[in-house]
Structure 1
Amino acid sequence: MKSLERLLKDEAATIELGEDLALALKKGDCVGLSGDLGAGKSTIARAFLRAMADDDSLEVPSPTFTLVQAYDLRIPVAHFDLYRLADASELDELGFDEALSEGICLVEWPEKAEEALPAQRITLSFTHESEGRRVRIMGPDAALERIARSLAIRAFLSDAGHADARRRHLSGDASVRAYERIHSADGEPAKILMDAAKHKPGPILQDGKYYQQLAHLAEDVIPFVAISELLRKRGFAAPAIYARDLGKGLLLIEDLGSEGIIDAEGRPVAERYIEAVRLLGRLHAETAERDIAIADGIVHHIPDFDRTAIKIETSLLIDWYLPWKRGLPASDTERSDYFAIWDELIDILGSGEKNLLLRDFHSPNILWRPDRLGLERIGIIDFQDAMIGPTAYDVAALVQDARVTIDRRLAERLLGAYVAERKAQGGFDEAAFLRDWHLMAAQRNCKLAGIWVRLMQRDGKPGYMKHMPRTFAYLQHALTHEVLTPLREWCIKAGILVSESAN
């Protein structure tokens, strides 16, 4: 196994390492803590648990006599102390296997049950050195990679002037990006750490390209930096960027707050949605620049939401959703007919308005800032996949929010507010917009139906399947426009939708 070494000069450094490990470990990790009495095993375990709980006052009693102490945290953690273990077989009675299957196991004195612990575990070996401790971290390559990444983030924060910052898990999303909230020791407002390592290429799908390339999705943090600068220059509330390492994919950005546009019960707050759709009206009324320089020799060219990108997204319905729904894949004829329909629909889009579209403008990525005025009340995040394409796409993403049920009455109010905003600025074709809105809503929901299944089957994230009924209710409404009649008929014939006459 590979290893990492760190010199921990004092107890504060040991606590810091415990916090860094809390951002690196995941369910199924077993961590052995080895070393003499007083070497730092309990200190690092306590720091790890308090960071996982985001509670510096969390009581962490020593499990010396109970042998195990369980914590129901963001990820469940079981803290074992095997010093008094009589025989390795007693681990079964302590529920070790069950604890490991459900969360993380911290094991002090792992030498007492060497043969009963997983061979592929992480080990921290502590030895006294001068006034501090030296720790050697060993483990499987994948686990060490996660730990090394967390330590690199700590170094990045130190270089940015936040050496003593407290790091706390914030959230992840359906992508590989992760976020932390960073609290500075000097009491400055919290900041957000975006951890977005360069995307690893996937399987080749067509034309020698993988999915991210075909869909023109961001593969590093450069697009985020560029679009943030563009939005802020135009007066929109995107996060300021305080520090960046473009090569490592690390950004320290402004914390725009945590209040969203839905209430505590997960229902849409109409006033906030209306302000958000009015923001889109302002955004779409002014032509966006295509090339944004963010450093010497680094220029981001905003890609087009072109035929290739639209079709590779709609393919998710036929490649993932349809086989899951029916238990058998689409026939060659079904595939040919489906993509021929989309070719015709994309041709129709050619006559519509095109401008900057943010791509994921819906409740998880919109923040409400009640202490601000005007456009500043709406904070925008997660726009690294922005493209130039049919502006109706963003309006469809908001009005048919993938994670929130927008009833028909509110949807009509939102569309009305957007149309009013655009008409006030002149030169707006309402009929063409409404046509494109239905088309883009259909495209987005075909994509989402496939994504929910892909997240469940490929990525082990079944929780997103709860959005499937809403997705199909939205799709059914999108397909009511006459221009989408061929797609509606295809969906009925394929067994994806039930015809209204059959109800």
Structure 2
Amino acid sequence: MSDLPEGLIEFVRRAGWGGAAVEAIPGDASFRRYFRLRRGDGAAAMLMYAPPPEEDPQPFLLVAQWLSGNGMRAPEILAQNPREGWLLIEDFGEDRMRDWLDAHPEDELAAYESAIDALVELHRLPPGPFSPYDIDTYLREALLFTQWYVPAIALKVDETGFEAAWREVLVPLAARQSPGVTVLRDYHAENIMLLDGSPHSPQGLIDFQDALVGHPAYDLVSLLQDARRDVPVELEAVMLARYTASIGADHEFGGDYARLGAQRNAKIVGIFTRLHRRDGKPRYLSLIPRVWAAMERDLAHPALEPVARWFDANIPENLRRSGGGTIV
């Protein structure tokens, strides 16, 4: 127990879970830490530690309350001390969509259908009380590619042209996304819990604290161009068609999906490089070729022509063929 954060035992005791067994859960790319609590009576709960100043649990609380209040399945908040970074929340169990499909690949179609249907349900709601996913945010994220990936492979590129190309591509999209939908921003197979232990289960949502109001295609990209799991391109097409048929998407939607796919994937390449070079987490580098392959497919769409032209002029073909090359 010596490696537990200071204050954990006292918070757990005050929450009525004193004496519960504490099991550390492998973390993600942030400073947050998670623990599963198990009591002798068989009850379980999840403990989130979001230590200030690096983390703030208040956004998680805000989004969780909004989701639950609108019929979506976010974890119930059992106890909280956000000033010190502690939240005790409902335990959704261990049936993550990603893990379920690793063990039951035959359920892939059903699981993705359920995930798409949950997004349709979310997007039919009025947007939540969250900040806008505006053009400045889109550009700031895309620029992570030139800020982190480009120096890591010692390239000299046209950084001004990179931003200009993205602005040309994204400004029309940003104008189309009003009034927008709630965008969870990390809606993928590792953040979807199957609450009844089947591919048709209700979708338990986690890791949504960065929610914004933006374009409905963004979370589709997050799900169907998953950085951590291979989603067959045929399945991606079928699920995209399922979504667009459900909401009656207009003729611009396919182009906007490609725009946000390329934007998100460029951002992720930058973030994974930063996790390695700044934070000492090299395990994310192995995911970049998958992300890069999805980005190349997005760049082939006519809507991405200015950005594709920049890649043609600035990123050598051998690096593109090898999924981004070797990052040191």
CA offsets 1:444-464 (integer angstroms, 9 cap, x no match): 000011111111111111111
- In the alignment, is the contact (CA less than 8 A) between 1:360 and 1:383 conserved in 2? yes
Q: Deviations over 1:434-482 (max 9, x none)?
A: 1111110000000011111111111111111111110111001111221
User: Are 2:166 and 2:306, in contact at CA under 8 Å, matched by a contact in 1?
Assistant: no
**Aligned counterpart, 1:395:** 220
Which protein is richer in strand relative to its size? 1
Aligned to 1:452: 272
Q: Please say if 1:487 is aligned against 2:281.
A: no
Any idea what SS the aligned residue of 1:239 has?
Answer: coil
Q: Against the structure 1 CA distance between its residues 350 and 328, is the aligned structure 2 distance closer, same or farther, given a 3 Å change threshold?
A: closer
User: Is the counterpart of residue 324 in structure 1 residue 159 in structure 2?
Assistant: no
Q: CA offsets per residue over residues 122-141 of structure 1, 9 Å max, x none?
A: xxxxxxxxxxxxxxxxxxxx
Q: Give 2:193's aligned residue.
A: 367
Q: Give the alignment partner of residue 303 of structure 1, picking from 109, 131, 134.
A: 131
**Counterpart of 1:151 in structure 2: which amino acid?**
E
Q: Number of aligned pairs?
A: 315
Aligned partners of 1:154, 1:197: CA distance in 2, in Å?
A: 15
Would you identify which runs of 4 or more consecutive aligned residues in structure 1 move more than 4 Å?
Answer: 265-268, 371-374, 496-500
Please state if 1:169 is matched with 2:18.
Answer: no
**Which residue is 2:160 aligned to?**
336
2:285 maps to 1:285 = no
Q: Does the residue aligned with 2:196 lie in a helix, a strand or coil? A: coil
Other structure's SS at 1:174 match? coil
Q: Give a deviation string over 1:35-90, Cα, whole Å, max 9, x none.
A: xxxxxxxxxxxxxxxxxxxxxxxxxxxxxxxxxxxxxxxxxxxxxxxxxxxxxxxx
Deviation at 1:420, TM superposition (A): 2.1
Q: Contact 2:169/2:307 (CA < 8 Å) preserved in 1? A: no
Q: Relative to structure 2, which stretch is displaced further, 467-476 or 337-346?
A: 337-346
TM-score normalised over the length of structure 2: 0.90
Cα deviation, residue 498, structure 1: 6.3
1:142-166 alpha-carbon deviations (Å, 9 max, x no partner): xxxxxxxx23011011111111111
Letter of the 1:234 partner, please give it: N
For the residue of structure 1 that corresponds to 2:190, the secondary structure is: helix
Q: 1:189 to 1:372 in 2, by over 3 A?
A: farther
Per-residue Cα deviation, 1:354-397 (whole angstroms, up to 9, x for no partner): 211000001111111235897x6211100000001111110011
1:258 aligns with 2:71: no
Q: Based on CA coordinates, which of the two structures has the bigger radius of gyration?
A: 1
Of 174, 191, 202, the match for 2:45 = 191
Give, in whole Å, the separation in 2 of the partners of 1:244 and 1:412. Answer: 42
User: Structure 1 residue 496: deviation in Å?
Assistant: 5.2
Give the alignment partner of residue 14 of structure 2, picking from 139, 159, 177: 159
Among 182, 206, 210, which residue is 1:356 paired with? Answer: 182
Provide the residue aligned with 1:6 in structure 2. Answer: none
Deviation at 1:180, TM superposition (A): 0.2
TM-score (norm. length: structure 1)? 0.60
Change (3 A) 1:497 1:190: farther
The answer on 1:345 being equivalent to 2:181 is: no
Query: Structure 1 CA distance, aligned partners of 2:66 and 2:306?
Result: 39
- The letter for the 2-side match of 1:384 is Q
User: The residue matched to 2:291 in structure 1 has which SS?
Assistant: helix
Q: Tell me the alpha carbon deviations over residues 317-366 of structure 1, each in whole angstroms, 9 at most, x when there is no partner.
A: 111111223x2443xxx111110111112211133232110000011111
Aligned to 1:53: none
**What is aligned with 1:9?**
none
- Aligned mates of 2:97, 2:138 — CA distance in 1: 28
Given that 1:449 and 1:471 are in contact with CA atoms closer than 8 Å, whether structure 2 keeps it comes out as yes
2:326 matched residue in structure 1: none
Contact 1:319 1:329 (C-alpha < 8 Å) held by counterparts: no
State the secondary structure of the residue aligned to 2:207: coil
Gaps of 5+ in 1: 1-18, 24-149, 201-218, 291-301
Contact 2:187 2:222 in 1 (8 A): yes
Change (3 A) 1:254 1:496: farther
Uncovered stretches (5+) of structure 2, i.e. residues with no partner: 321-328
CA distance in 1, matches of 2:32, 2:137: 21
**What is the alpha-carbon distance in structure 2 between the residues aligned to residue 411 and residue 397 of structure 1?**
11
| 1:96-140 deviation line (CA, Å, top 9, x unaligned) | xxxxxxxxxxxxxxxxxxxxxxxxxxxxxxxxxxxxxxxxxxxxx
Q: Which has the higher helix share?
A: 2
1:187-216, Cα deviation, whole Å (9 max, x unpaired): 14210000001234xxxxxxxxxxxxxxxx
Letter in 1 for 2:117: R
Higher relative contact order (CA closer than 8 Å, sequence separation 6+)? 2
Is the partner of 1:350 in helix, strand or coil?
helix
